[in-house]
């Protein structure tokens, strides 16, 4: 398999936990430039994954970076785990629990009755700990300085939201949604709708449009493939 990164490639990457999407972009740009002796190379990703999330990241290089908006606009599929009975400022495990809530009233019936409120077009507030830029500064940078980012609600579409398990406090779920959806906000709002609290404890993106994580390279796999190609 021959790659032409300057002309343009679309790479499917299985992002590891604790890497930011920009970490992946920067690593690949540096690695590809080094082993292919390329002076300058455009590399970008089509849809941010939080550091604690894993799964499918679409990386575009060279002239293919012009197609990033197309890939960003595709529907996304996630599987994850929410933990009921508590919240965190970041809506996930990045920050410590800031409040605890009763869950004794939450039944399987209540869970199933609440789900339809979160399908179709919904309004959601992005998390304060997000990569949204506000006057040139990331929202999470402001939040870490204990400042309140001025964020606005946005309309997103939840095509499918299913609970795969209902054993409290950890509930596994499946979501198919439009671009711009914050799964952390979805989980947080779902907890509030249950008259309790919830935070995201695990997330994996399994699909973007027709692209599947099962067809993606890990970073180690891609490194090995590229090293073999350049050593021929």
Residue 14 appears among annotated catalytic residues? no
Catalytically annotated residue among 50, 170, 189, 195: 50
**DSSP per residue over the chain, as a string?**
----TTT--EEEEEEPTT--HHHHHHHHHHHHHHHHT-S---EEESS---TT-EEEEEEEEGGGGGGHHHHHTS-EEEEEEEEESEE-TTSBTTS---EE---TT--HHHHHHHGGGGSEEEEEPPPSSS--EETTEEHHHHHHTT-------EEEEEEEEEES---SSEEEEEEEE-TT--HHHHHHHHHHHTTS-EEEEEEEEEEETTEEGGGPBPHHHHHHHHHHHHT-
Active site residues: 50
């Amino acid at each position: 398999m021959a790659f032409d990164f300057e002309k343009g490639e679309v790479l499917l990457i299985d992002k590891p936990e604790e890497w930011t999407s920009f970490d992946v972009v920067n690593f690949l740009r540096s690695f590809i430039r080094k082993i292919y002796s390329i002076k300058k190379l455009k590399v970008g990703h089509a849809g941010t994954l939080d550091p604690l999330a894993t799964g499918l990241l679409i990386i575009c290089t060279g002239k293919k970076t012009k197609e990033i908006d197309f890939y960003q606009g595709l529907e996304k599929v996630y599987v994850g785990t929410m933990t009921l009975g508590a919240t965190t400022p970041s809506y996930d495990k990045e920050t410590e629990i800031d409040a605890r809530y009763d869950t004794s009233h939450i039944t399987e019936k209540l869970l199933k009755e609440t789900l339809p409120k979160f399908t179709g077009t919904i309004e959601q507030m992005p998390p304060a700990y997000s990569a949204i830029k506000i006057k040139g500064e990331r929202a999470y940078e402001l939040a870490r300085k204990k400042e309140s980012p001025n964020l606005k609600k946005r309309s997103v579409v939840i095509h499918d939201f299913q609970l795969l398990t209902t054993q409290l406090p950890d509930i596994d779920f499946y979501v198919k949604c439009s671009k711009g959806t914050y799964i952390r906000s979805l989980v947080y709002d779902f907890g509030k709708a249950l008259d309790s609290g919830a935070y995201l404890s695990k997330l994996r993106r399994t699909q973007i449009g027709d692209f599947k994580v099962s067809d993606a390279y890990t970073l180690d796999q891609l490194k090995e493939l590229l090293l073999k190609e350049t050593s021929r």
